[in-house]
């Protein structure tokens, strides 16, 4: 992905509300399936990672798992929010 497209997606992501929350259960199959449906529909998705999900993993690890399991691209991590694109 080129820098211009990445900048454009980051700009759009600032106005997005989180589509999905990841809680204490973490990235189980239900969350992944829901995320795949949302990505298929919207392409650019913001996910909120709750503090309870961060007890055993950090935000970078969770974001890497999300991108691997959904075949998407990480756009940005801002605080507890992860923005992905496919």
Mean pLDDT over the full length of the chain: 94
Are the CB atoms for 75 and 83 separated by under 8 Å? yes
- Residue 23 to residue 48: CA distance in whole angstroms: 9
- Do the beta carbons of residue 84 and residue 66 sit within 8 Å? yes
What's the pLDDT score for residue 36? 94
Q: Render pLDDT for 13-30 as a digit per residue (tens, 0 to 9).
A: 999 999 999 999 989 999
Say yes or no to pLDDT of 56 above 90: no
pTM: 0.90
Q: What is residue 41's predicted lDDT score, i.e. its pLDDT?
A: 95
Domains of the chain: 3-85 (3.30.110.60)
- Residue 80 confidence (pLDDT): 95
What pLDDT, on a 0 to 100 scale, did the predictor assign at position 74? 96
């Amino acid at each position: 992905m080129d820098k211009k497209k990445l900048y454009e997606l980051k700009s759009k992501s600032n106005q997005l509300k989180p589509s999905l929350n990841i809680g204490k259960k973490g990235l189980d199959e239900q969350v992944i399936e829901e995320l795949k449906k949302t990505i298929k529909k919207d392409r650019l998705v913001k996910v909120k990672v709750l503090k309870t999900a961060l007890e055993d993993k950090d935000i970078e690890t969770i974001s890497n798992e999300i991108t691997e399991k959904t075949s998407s691209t990480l756009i940005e991590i801002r605080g507890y929010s992860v923005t992905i694109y496919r």
